[in-house]
Amino acid sequence: MLQTLSQPPSRNLAEHLLAWYDRHHRELPWRVSPAAAKAGKRADPYHIWLSEVMLQQTTVQAVKPYFAKFLTLWPTVGELAAGPVEDVMAAWAGLGYYARARNLKKCADAVATLHGGVFPDTEDGLRSLPGIGDYTSAAVAAIAFNRQAAVMDGNVERVISRLYAIDSPLPGSKPTMKAKVALLTPADRPGDFAQAMMDLGATICTPKRPACALCPLREDCLAFAEHDPERFPVKAKKKDRPVRLGAAFVAVTPEGEVLLRRRVETGLLGGMTEVPTTAWTARIDGGDTAEHAPFEAAWEPCGTIIHVFTHFELRLAVFRARTEKSPADGWWEPVENLEAQALPTVMKKVITQALPLAFAKNPN
């Protein structure tokens, strides 16, 4: 015991956490369990990369079905690189942060053409690829390639800030916290250590009502000693969310086709598909919101939808019209094909408001 007590606490802590991880880790589709790893199974870098990009600011539960769909459509990074970006956008529709999908395709192209179809196996090499930043490069390097990289995401920030009772606010304290993680990360099993920290943050060291009684790091935790773990991490307060208004137009032909457009590649919902809308502004000029419709028709108001984005709330008045194919930007898509389009959630809300059965399994 004297030996144990005289060891650096960081080494003790990592071993303690890994022992907890061996018993309590979550089973995830892209994860190689410690038992399987001991039997010689290795993580597939393509699977780890794909899952990590999907998991950026996105919950495990939301990612699972998309991860399965992508592996079915594109079993290897080479097949993903060979496919058209439009198919990737359509498959990504609903998952959000669509720049990730464009960069996912760019990254697959770079791996295929610049790296012979094999992912770089170092943190720096990965960091140079599109859509891979500080977190994802460290995570893939550690989990897929067993590199001693310091992995820090929102979960780890919370664990570290509590462990050391860090009072300075995020994001300014991030370098300090990353240095702490680097000191804790073991040369042996760095990937499991990273996943253990994230599992701990996701299941025990939660934002609200953390289960400290079950925490393997309780004895080392300064926030627990203070009896107020929820005080951490300290964050700068965020701005309030403004409201933007606009109108959306769902035009339907007698043949059951809907007018669609493609949004510009950059910015909000970049490269995704939409129905025509007015600009989204703070106020709607006058009361006649149908005046900016894509063409003259008997536009019929059919209610308003509300959609909340990260930095503003959008309220769209929805208009519907039965019409012949009128000259307009975009294309006319049969209703039964809408499910296969790259329609973000806000546009599915608009279309459903105008055509309640548009996305039903049997539209009749």
Partner DNA sequence: AACGCGGGGAT
Partner DNA sequence: ATCCCAGCGTT
Contact residues toward DNA (CB under 7 A) are 26, 28, 31, 51-52, 55-62, 93-99, 103, 130-137, 139, 153-155, 157-158, 171-172, 195, 198-199, 201-202, 206-209, 235-239, 267-270, 307-311, 344-346
Indicate left, alpha or beta for 90 from its phi (over 0: left) and psi (-120 to 50: alpha): alpha
Phi first, then psi, for residue 334 (nearest 5°) are -55, 140
Find out whether 104 and 53 touch, Cβ atoms under 8 Å: yes
- Tell the smallest beta-carbon distance from residue 208 to DNA (Å): 5
Beta carbon of residue 43, minimum distance to DNA (angstroms, whole number) = 11
Instruction: Provide the strand spans (E) within the chain.
Output: 243-252, 257-262, 273-274, 300-308, 313-322, 331-334
Instruction: Tell me which of 52, 157, 274, 333 is the catalytic residue.
Output: 52
Closest to DNA by CB, 86 vs 326, is 86
Considering beta carbons, is residue 155 or 289 the nearer one to DNA? 155
Residue 331 pairs in a beta bridge with 260
Residue with tokens 């106020």: 283
DSSP 284-349: -SSS-GGGG-SS-S--EEEEEEEEE-SS-EEEEEEEEEE----S-SSEEEEGGGGGGS---HHHHH
Q: How far is the CB of 325 from DNA (least distance, A)?
A: 27
Find the shortest distance in angstroms from Cβ 136 to DNA.
3
Active-site residue flag, 230 = no
Contacting residues for 228 by C-beta, under 8 A, at least 6 apart: none
- 170 SS3 class: strand
Q: From the CB of 7, what's the least distance to DNA, in Å?
A: 28
The Cα 320–Cα 299 span in angstroms is 5
Residues designated as active site: 52
